[in-house]
Structure formats: C-alpha cells, structure tokens
Amino acid sequence: AQSVTQLGSHVSVSEGALVLLRCNYSSSVPPYLFWYVQYPNQGLQLLLKYTSAATLVKGINGFEAEFKKSETSFHLTKPSAHMSDAAEYFCAVSPATGGFKTIFGAGTRLFVKA
C-alpha cells in the first residue's frame, strides 16, 4: 500500500529565505509524485509532478523538487520565499502501475515572515 509522510505540520521562514518542505513516500513500485498548493478557502492546484522522467522537477512560482529513490523522498524547495507563498502544501503519491488511487499527505502550512 502507498503512503505519504510530510515532516512538519507547520514551517515558518523569513521572506527571502530558503523554503524546504519535506515529503517521504512508501510504495512497492516507483510511483508518480506530486506537490499541490492550497491557498485559503480555495481548492488545490498543482505545483509540480514527477512521472519518471527527470529526477529534478521544476514547477510554477519558482518551486522545484527532487526525486530521490534511495531516500524515498520528494522534498519541495524554493530558493527565496515570498509573502505570497504562504499557503498549505500537500505531497501526493499515485501508482505508476497496478492501481489508481492518489493518496495525500497531511499537509504542511508555510508561514512567511516579513
């Protein structure tokens, strides 16, 4: 069975600082991995996805993530935080073969201090 663990329910950074949001997955076969962002009172929108091509994936708004099979990780980074990045971020996993379900992590709320 698949699962996703996001380390840290809340992360606080200063504006201009590095953003690092951690995601580890468990899957019996190499999965597809996603990061979604949710702004207050809105639905989720895709930031980026890994679908077994390049291991370093670039997304919207300057975010990127690196798939590390040996560490079963897919951490999200951004070199310089903006106030507008304050939101909740979700890591998700879906099977590349043998299934359809997309499972989400519990989410990490990012706070950006001026």
Partner 1 sequence: NAGVTQTPKFQVLKTGQSMTLQCAQDMNHEYMSWYRQDPGMGLRLIHYSVGAGITDQGEVPNGYNVSRSTTEDFPLRLLSAAPSQTSVYFCASKLTAGGPTGEQYFGPGTRLTVT
Q: Does 46 bind partner 1 (CB under 8 A)?
A: yes
* Contacts of 58-61 spanning 24+ positions with Cβ under 8 A: 59/35, 61/85
- In the range 63-92, which residues lie near partner 1 by CB under 8 A? 90
Closest approach of Cβ 66 to partner 1, in Å?
18
Task: Select the residue interacting with partner 1 from 43, 56, 69, 70 (CB under 8 A).
Answer: 43
- Give whichever of 15 and 64 is closer to partner 1, judged by the CB atom: 64
C-alpha to C-alpha distance for 101 and 103, rounded to whole angstroms: 6
Only segment of 17-25, 38-46, 57-65, 73-81 that touches partner 1 (CB under 8 A): 38-46
C-alpha to C-alpha distance for 43 and 37, rounded to whole angstroms: 9
> Contact, 24 vs 105, CB < 8 A?
no
